[in-house]
């Protein structure tokens, strides 16, 4: 096409009537391109935590099959608390998801076992992620971690139990919500933030590399307000969600069906938080752990733990020094229960 | 309902337009107008349905008084029944006074006399300042016999027509009513739809991308000033200029959207802004800023006060009265009054400066690029300084910011500029200074509208609109971009007036 033809095509005068059609077609085309962009280039604009989900999803779906002596499944606390490469004698992987609940733990294990193998599983979920889910749509759906079928299953169970792990998850036509989350307009807040934060793409890329290089471990970026108290210090009582309890039990049962032992490990909180957590809350959480141990094949490595505040990046997450300490502790306890011949 | 919301763009506007043109094309013009009235009332009532009663009351009383004044004129052939006119104006000012100024007067009375009168906080009905002014003009012109045989439906549509109902442009009946009388208004025209869409979308861009992009930083700077936090000279000037841009792009964006919406329905609304930030002096600025308000104040206040016909002292006094009342119209606060007073002083100084230069034999019409640049810079800076009073919630807050701007709390800036939206500020000044305004761009008009029409200079970057695929695609892009950024629709700044 000659330059003149291009110029005529774009800049040649048209009738106003035909321009209405052009605007409609151009609008639809641009929306389609934007849909492709938000679905395929999420690393460019999504928040940092989201990278954790895409990385794990890509690993679970696409990585070469691997065998581990043990894997850790949990939420952001265990993601920032366990460093697989810290101990070179045991092969391990951190499959934790920031904001992950027992639902994502179950799906993570299910997908992991389709391609990979492990000798043991460590489960570690913060108590408030057993009381309610704050991420079903925001991260699970946006990252594509939950398929439409997964969502159907979760909602069928939720309806049966009459528990949605938080009223905000109680929506009409949940599968339609899954498709809704494919629309670019849903990502407008992230796109706007990314547009005014040019470092986003670079930070995401380096975070993704860290996750890949450190087998799922990622440190939480430094908080503007270090110190402070963890989330459960603001809660009066611990009540497990029936839906999340069901998925805890499904996770343990799935591992048992494959002959793999499952261990429970509670990630430490700071000594300041330990002192501030309500006694009733702590006791109810420990009672829940013990109940699971009594009623399922779950094995327990610890019930609770407190570390010095300087081992934390911010109130809820360990820093690297804290993570090394926790990794040593977890492996020591695990070795005492599981492995007589490490690395074999 | 606000223009920059999904419910307006995706539901209200298409439904209203489709039904209007469906009825209009079949010759049901009165039904189409009735539909537009119903839709406009729905649009208004979406915000607070109970204030529809205030709107109904205002329309009914004004229509009744207006038609009575018309009859009096018809019977005598000259303006008659002045008491009725005064009653009508008093009713309008009383309504405005009660809703807008009652708390202000009570507070000042308590402060002055030590009394403790308490009046519960009165919520200002949306748009009351605008529809009150339009109706005062209607009464004055009815009294003068300039209006004949106006039906209630036509009158109600003139007041409530949704594109201009909330924040103007302040429409004169002689401008809009004849357009509703034309049969062609009721048939959709592709040209009107495309031009209306262009105005609407580019206005939306001004609001969503530039004005809203600056709002968080402006809120932060002015919020800190209210808390007495010293900001340093750089931060405070950046904050003041950011608000200068926010106000312009918010209000002119709204006006462009209103003009675009009117155009889609076949109605031309008057231009409200004419590149005010390209004004080279403050007199020039006021010819270009909120033109429909300044036209109203000139025709219904300045000229009846005697205008410039009664000598320089009276002229300057009249000017000051108009500017003080203009400030008071914007809000029931001394900040607004002082803001108006500042502009009265600026205008008088500018007038004498021009007289002084003329007496020296300078040709004021011949300017150099450098001279214009200095004039523009000074005008925008004066405007920015005065807007500190306009934006600050309290006089003390304004003083803190002004002190910082003039270096009274030190030269060095104390807070980081890292989060300042410098890109948007630069974009704002680029659009305001280098590009043509939307009337120049879309309609090729090189003149400011209104009675004081005069030739505009070519823009530094003289982009021109033409009906081609490139512009259509650009408009589609702007639409998608704005649609993506409407997750937190924010009200227009002038809604509070």
Question: What is the tens place of the pLDDT at every residue in B241-293?
Answer: 999 999 999 999 999 999 999 999 999 999 899 899 999 899 999 989 999 99
Classify the C-alpha dihedral A71-A76-A77-A80 as positive or negative: positive
For B116-142, the pLDDT digits (tens) are 777 777 777 888 888 998 899 999 989
C-alpha B211/C-alpha B197 separation (Å) is 20
What value, to the nearest 5°, has the Cα angle with vertex B100 and ends B94 and B104?
A: 105
**Dihedral class, residue B232 (left if φ above 0, else alpha if ψ from -120 to 50, else beta):** left
Which one of A110-124, A233-247, B97-111, B397-411 scores highest in mean pLDDT? A110-124
Q: What is the mean pLDDT of residues A96-104?
A: 91
pLDDT of residue A223: 55
Q: What is the mean pLDDT of residues B299-306?
A: 88
β-sheet bridge partners, residue B441: none
Answer whether B427 touches A (CB < 8 Å).
Answer: no
> What value of ipTM does the predicted structure carry?
0.77
- Does pLDDT of A340 surpass 50? no
For A126-146, the pLDDT digits (tens) are 998 888 776 666 667 778 888
For B20-78, the pLDDT digits (tens) are 999 999 999 999 999 999 999 999 998 888 889 999 999 999 999 999 998 888 777 77
Place of tokens 């971690």: A145
Q: How far is B249 from chain A (nearest CA, A)?
A: 19
pLDDT confidence band for A343 (50 / 70 / 90): very low
Instruction: Cite the beta strand spans of chain A per DSSP E.
Output: 67-68, 70-74, 92-94, 117-118, 121-124, 262-264, 269-270, 299-300, 306-307, 312-314, 317-318
Q: Which residues of A touch B190 (CB under 8 A)?
A: 15-17, 19-20
Q: Which residues of A touch B473 (CB under 8 A)?
A: 10, 22-23, 26
At B289, is the secondary structure helix, strand, or coil?
A: coil
- Between B486 and B20, residue with greater pLDDT: B20
- Does pLDDT of A225 surpass 70? no
pLDDT of residue B398: 92
Residue in chain A closest to B192 (alpha carbons) equals: A16
Of the residues B17, B473, B479, B488, the best mutation for testing chain A's interface (the one with the most A CB atoms within 10 Å of its CB) is B473
So where are chain B's domains? 6-188, 192-485
Answer whether B470 touches A (CB < 8 Å).
Answer: yes
Active-site residue (options: B330, B343, B413, B439): B330
Which residues fall within 8 angstroms of residue B232, CB to CB, at 6 or more apart? Answer: B404, B409, B410, B411, B412, B413, B414, B415
Residue in chain A closest to B420 (alpha carbons) equals: A196
Residue in chain B closest to A188 (alpha carbons) equals: B484
Residue in chain B closest to A192 (alpha carbons) equals: B485
Of residues A297, A296, A320, the one with CA closest to residue A307? A320
Q: How far is A33 from chain B (nearest CA, A)?
A: 11
Q: What is the mean pLDDT of residues B296-304?
A: 89
pLDDT of residue B199: 95
Q: How far is A144 from chain B (nearest CA, A)?
A: 21
Could B484 and A26 be called an inter-chain contact, meaning their C-beta atoms sit closer than 8 Å? no
pLDDT of residue B209: 87
What stretch of H or E contains A114?
helix A102-115
What is each CA distance from A93 to A69, A209, B79, B492, in whole angstroms?
A: 9, 15, 92, 52
Q: What is the mean pLDDT of residues B395-420?
A: 77
CB A265 within 8 A of CB A126: no
pLDDT of residue B220: 87
Query: Quick check: is B343 catalytic?
Result: no
Rounded to two decimals, the pTM is 0.79
Of residues A9, A12, A31, nearest to B480 (C-beta):
A31
Of residues B191, B473, B480, nearest to A16 (C-beta):
B191
């Amino acid at each position: 096409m000659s330059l003149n033809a291009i110029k005529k095509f774009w800049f040649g005068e048209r009738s106003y009537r035909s321009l209405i059609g052009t605007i409609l077609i151009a609008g639809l085309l641009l929306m389609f391109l934007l849909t492709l962009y938000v679905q395929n280039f999420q690393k460019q604009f999504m928040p940092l935590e989201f990278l954790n989900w895409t990385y794990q999803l890509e690993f679970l779906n696409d990585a070469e099959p691997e065998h581990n002596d043990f894997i850790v499944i949990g939420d952001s606390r265990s993601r920032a608390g366990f460093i697989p490469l810290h101990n070179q004698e045991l092969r391990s992987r951190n499959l934790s998801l920031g904001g992950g609940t027992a639902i994502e733990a179950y799906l993570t294990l299910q997908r992991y076992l389709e391609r990979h193998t492990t000798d043991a599983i460590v489960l570690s979920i913060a108590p408030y992620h057993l009381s309610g889910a704050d991420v079903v749509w925001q991260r699970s759906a946006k990252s594509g971690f939950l398929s439409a079928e997964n969502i159907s299953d979760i909602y069928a169970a939720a309806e049966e139990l009459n528990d949605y792990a938080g009223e905000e998850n109680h929506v009409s036509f949940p599968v339609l919500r899954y498709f809704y989350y494919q629309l670019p307009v849903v990502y407008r807040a992230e796109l706007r933030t990314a547009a005014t934060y040019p470092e986003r793409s670079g930070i995401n890329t380096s975070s993704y590399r860290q996750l890949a290089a450190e087998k799922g471990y990622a440190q939480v970026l430094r908080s503007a307000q270090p110190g402070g108290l963890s989330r459960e210090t603001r809660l009066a009582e611990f009540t497990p969600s029936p839906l999340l309890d069901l998925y805890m039990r499904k996770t343990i049962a799935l591992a048992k069906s494959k002959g793999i032992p499952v261990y429970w490990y509670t990630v430490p909180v700071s000594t300041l938080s330990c002192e501030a957590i309500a006694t009733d809350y702590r006791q109810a959480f420990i009672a829940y752990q013990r109940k699971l141990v009594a009623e399922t094949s779950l094995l327990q490595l610890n019930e609770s733990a407190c570390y010095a505040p300087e081992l934390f990046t911010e109130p809820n997450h360990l820093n690297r020094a804290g993570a090394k300490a926790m990794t040593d502790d977890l492996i020591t306890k695990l070795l005492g229960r599981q492995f007589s011949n490490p690395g074999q | 309902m606000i223009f920059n919301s999904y419910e307006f763009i995706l539901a209200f506007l298409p439904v209203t337009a489709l039904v209007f043109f469906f009825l209009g094309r079949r010759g049901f013009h009165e039904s189409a107008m009735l539909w537009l009235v119903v839709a406009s009332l729905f649009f208004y009532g979406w915000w607070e349905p109970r204030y529809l009663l205030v709107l109904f009351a205002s329309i009914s009383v004004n229509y009744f008084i207006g038609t009575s004044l018309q009859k009096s004129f018809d019977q005598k052939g000259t303006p008659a029944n002045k008491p009725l006119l005064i009653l009508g104006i008093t009713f309008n000012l009383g309504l405005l006074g009660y809703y807008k100024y009652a708390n202000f007067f009570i507070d000042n009375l308590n402060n002055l006399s030590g009394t403790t009168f308490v009046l519960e906080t009165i919520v200002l009905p949306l748009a009351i300042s605008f529809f009150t002014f339009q109706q005062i003009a209607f009464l004055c012109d009815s009294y003068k016999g300039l209006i004949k045989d106006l039906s209630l439906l036509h009158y109600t549509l003139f007041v409530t027509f949704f594109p201009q109902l909330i924040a103007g442009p302040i429409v004169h009946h002689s401008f809009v009513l004849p357009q509703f009388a034309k049969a062609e208004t009721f048939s959709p025209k592709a040209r009107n739809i495309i031009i209306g869409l262009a105005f609407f979308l580019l206005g939306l861009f001004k609001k969503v991308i530039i004005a809203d992009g600056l709002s968080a930083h402006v809120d932060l700077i002015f919020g800190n000033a209210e808390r007495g936090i010293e900001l340093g000279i750089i931060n405070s000037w950046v904050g003041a200029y950011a608000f200068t841009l926010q106000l312009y792009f918010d209000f002119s964006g709204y006006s462009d959207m209103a003009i675009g919406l009117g155009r889609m329905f076949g109605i031309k609304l008057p231009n409200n802004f004419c590149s005010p930030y390209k004004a080279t002096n403050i007199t020039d600025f006021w010819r270009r800023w909120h033109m429909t308000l300044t036209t109203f104040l000139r025709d219904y206040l300045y000229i009846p006060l005697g205008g410039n016909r009664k000598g320089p002292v009276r002229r300057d006094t009249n000017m000051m009265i108009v500017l003080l009342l203009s400030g008071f119209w914007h809000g029931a606060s001394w900040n607004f009054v002082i803001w108006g007073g500042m502009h009265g002083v600026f205008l008088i100084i500018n007038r004498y400066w021009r007289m002084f230069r003329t007496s020296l034999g300078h040709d004021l019409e011949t300017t150099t690029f450098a001279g214009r640049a200095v004039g523009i810079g000074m005008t925008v800076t004066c405007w920015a300084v005065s807007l500190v009073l306009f934006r600050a919630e309290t006089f003390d807050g304004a003083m803190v910011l002004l002190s910082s701007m003039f270096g009274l709390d030190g030269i060095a800036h104390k807070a980081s500029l890292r989060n300042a939206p410098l890109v948007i500020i630069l974009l704002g000044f680029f659009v305001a200074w280098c590009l043509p305004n939307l009337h120049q761009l879309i309609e090729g008009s090189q003149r400011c509208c209104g009675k004081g029409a005069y030739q505009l200079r070519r823009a530094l970057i003289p982009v021109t609109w033409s009906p081609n695929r490139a512009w259509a695609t650009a408009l589609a892009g702007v639409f998608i971009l704005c649609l993506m950024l409407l997750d937190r629709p924010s009200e227009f700044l002038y809604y509070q007036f």
